[in-house]
Chains A and B, each alone.
Chain A
Amino acid sequence: MSSEPRCEDIRTVEEINDKIKCGDAVVVTAEEMIKLAETSGIEVAAKEVDVVTSGTFGAMCSSGVFLNFGHADPPIKMTKCWLNDVPVYKGMAAVDGYLGATALSETMGFDYGGGHVIEDLVSGKEVELRAESYGTDCYPRRHVETTITIEDLNQAVLLNPRNCYQAYDAATNSTDRVLYTYMGTLLPNYGNVTFSGAGQLNPLCKDKNYETIGIGTRIFLGGGIGYIIGEGTQHSPQTGFGTLMVQGDLKKMNSAYLRGATFYRYGVTLYVGVGIPIPIINQRVAATAALRDEDILVNIRDYGVPVRPDKRPVVRRVSYAELRSSKIVINEKDVPSSSLSSYKTAREIAEVLKKWMTDGTFLLAKQVEPLPKYREFKPLTVRKRELSVLDVMKREVFTASPSEGVEEAAKKLVDKGIDHLPIVDEESRLMGIVTSWDLAKAVARGKRLLNEIMTRRVITAKVDESIDIVVRRMAQHNISGVPVVDEANHVIGILTTDDISRKLVGGVTK
């Protein structure tokens, strides 16, 4: 937007609804709105168009369904419940439950979970219900096992605490190993970039000042009708990351727009289709509804650094246009990029919603209350003290120089009762490492000097890292110890799995 747009009201929601009922409303998809604004200008587009439809179809982990199973005879106060072996939250009344999209099957693990159960229910498939209880005077039954379909349920309400992120940071990986994340498979050494979100079709982007979208807005949800019931969790509008809490009748939804999914080695989720109509009530809304992929920017973050999401290092800032071009430049290298959310399905949703309105079957609902424009996004403060590398590492490190002989090194290991020997230069900077196993191999192969046998790419730790992170790193590389280094790569300690188990068990000394 080059100049401050005028924002007198052009039309009201009520006026648009009257036109929808008569079949006179001008409804266009966000893509069509962009074209119109480019060819005729935003003023003309704002005058001509009554409603712009948006759409998105992506993995939305904060999703789930409230279910009411009805009472068996004799009845049961279900305290634990499973659908196809996926646990249902039962901290509610006797036969009410909440099935979360990311809950994992207790028998199939990552291959099946809450998201898949939801898809199966919507598809009309039979699902196995199993429940347990302690039995009460009013609910004597202690066990029930049966099969159900969505038809058998009294209510099945999709209620998603956080859907429809306004935009989402893209992901890449600086490390030298493949990462499997909720942002998909990330190849080593910035090997690819993945991103999520429909960009120029994304609902909240199309009304980024939340002038029309608010509590009470009627929407396309999972192929049926839904409503916005509030801000989503982690709603952070001031940084451009607004979210929505939505609900709708699962019984009227369609499995084309609700798909169970597995992110390899990460977990299970649900792809949710959301489409929101944007009534063009003034020119400012028209301008945001005409925003293009080029205008919507996100960060590319490095998922190789195991810190909380907002602290992951920003590699670059990019537009959705660049992300969608399938090629991103990082460090002067072309890196392939691809989406995790389906642009094709997002388009389809915008088209379906448009058709509902031109057919006169979907009316706009005016917001009852706007969404908050500001929300602090707080991290979790961990007040209980956790072990860090500094707490557990040994400060007394026995090292060797690369020119030392194998025999001398073997003697050191035996005398000191250790298994790891960091190899350092004159200023105790780390050059490599030798373990007792390396020495055994050296003897077998007739090698004489440490620099012939040492491992040069050493896995290390820093003093302020949490033990959990370093243990995971050791397990990933299948090693039993890491030198602790400072910023200048000086060896200042050593941490071994022996040290950790001793610390955790406590009191046991060698």
Chain B
Amino acid sequence: MRLKLIYSPEVVEKPILAETILKTGVPMNILEAKVNAQKGELVVSVPASGKQLEDMIQMFEEAGVKTRILTRTLQIDARSCTSCGACISPCPTRALRFKPDWTIEFDEERCVACRVCVNACPVKAITVPNV
């Protein structure tokens, strides 16, 4: 599961992510970070679900960090995609592969939204929606 964490100016300097990791013991992975003096936005990959995930979200919210669950990373425009495969081997997390009928299959769970495939696609069929 990927979460977007939005830090308000009041809490932007507090180590909320580190505290949450220490408290929950869930090893979160930072995929994207935009932090300045005014605000912070992180995208993290969270290997948790169910109650544990809910608790974690509550912990963030209570600390003053808005959270959003990201359900879509990549979008592949099926009309434009030629199923060439140029996106597959450059993907560092093996989130893209061929199905038996040689069309492209995307594994949401493995994707870390690194955008390598967006550039690798010769027909610009892959986009990462703004989150």
Contacts and interface: CB of A to CB of B under 8 A. Distances in A.
Interface of A: 57-59, 180, 184-187, 191-194, 259-264, 269, 271, 326, 336-345, 347
A343 B82 contact: no
A192 B89 contact: yes
Given A184-B120, A326-B98, 12 more contacts: A57-B82, A185-B86, A187-B90, A194-B89, A260-B123, A261-B123, A262-B122, A264-B120, A326-B89, A338-B89, A343-B102, A344-B83
Contacts of B101: 344
Interface of B: 82-92, 94, 97-98, 101-103, 116, 119-120, 122-124
Nearest to B104: A344
A340 B123 contact: no
Contacts of A326: 88-89, 97-98
Contacts of B123: 259-262, 271
A271 B88 contact: no
A339 B84 contact: yes
A219 to B, nearest CB: 20
Contacts of B102: 342-344, 347
A340 B83 contact: no
B83 A271 contact: no
A58 B123 CA distance: 12
Contact of B89 (A58, A193, A259, A262): A193
Nearest to A264: B119
A179 to B, nearest CB: 11
Contacts of B124: 262
16 contacts: A58-B84, A184-B122, A187-B89, A192-B89, A326-B97, A336-B88, A336-B91, A336-B94, A338-B90, A339-B84, A340-B85, A340-B86, A342-B102, A343-B83, A344-B103, A345-B84
B85 A339 contact: yes
Contacts of B90: 184-187, 192, 194, 338
Nearest to A115: B122
A259 B82 contact: yes
A263 B84 CA distance: 13
A185 B119 contact: yes
Which 3 A-B pairs have CB atoms at the shortest separation, nearest pair first? A338-B88, A261-B122, A192-B89
A185 B88 contact: no
Nearest to A347: B102
A461 B101 CA distance: 48
Given A261-B122, A262-B122, A338-B88, A185 B116 contact: yes
A338 B85 contact: yes
Contacts, number: 83
B89 A341 contact: no
Contacts of A269: 122
A441 B9 CA distance: 33
Contacts of B84: 57-58, 271, 339-342, 345
A433 B31 CA distance: 34
Contacts of B87: 338
A339 B104 CA distance: 12
Given A261-B122, A262-B124, A184 B86 contact: yes
B83 A338 contact: no
Contacts of A186: 90
Most central of B84, B91, B120 by chain A CB within 10 Å: B84
Contact of B120 (A185, A339, A343): A185
Contacts of B86: 184-185, 194, 338-340
Given A336-B88, A336-B89, A344-B101, A271 B120 contact: no
A338 B82 CA distance: 14
Contacts of B98: 326, 338
A340 B122 CA distance: 9
Nearest to B84: A342
A350 to B, nearest CB: 13
A34 to B, nearest CB: 16
B66 to A, nearest CB: 34
Most central of A185, A259, A343 by chain B CB within 10 Å: A185
A38 B94 CA distance: 33
A131 B113 CA distance: 44
B128 to A, nearest CB: 15
A342 B123 CA distance: 12
A165 to B, nearest CB: 15
A207 to B, nearest CB: 24
A488 to B, nearest CB: 36
B89 A263 contact: no
Contacts of B120: 184-185, 264
A263 B90 CA distance: 13
Nearest to B94: A336
A337 B122 contact: no
A301 to B, nearest CB: 15
Given A59-B122, A262-B124, A337 B89 contact: yes
B83 A345 contact: yes
A476 to B, nearest CB: 17
A260 B123 CA distance: 7
Contacts of A185: 86, 90, 116, 119-120
A181 to B, nearest CB: 11
A345 B82 contact: yes
Contacts of A194: 86, 89-90
B79 to A, nearest CB: 10
Most central of A259, A342, A347 by chain B CB within 10 Å: A342
B124 to A, nearest CB: 7
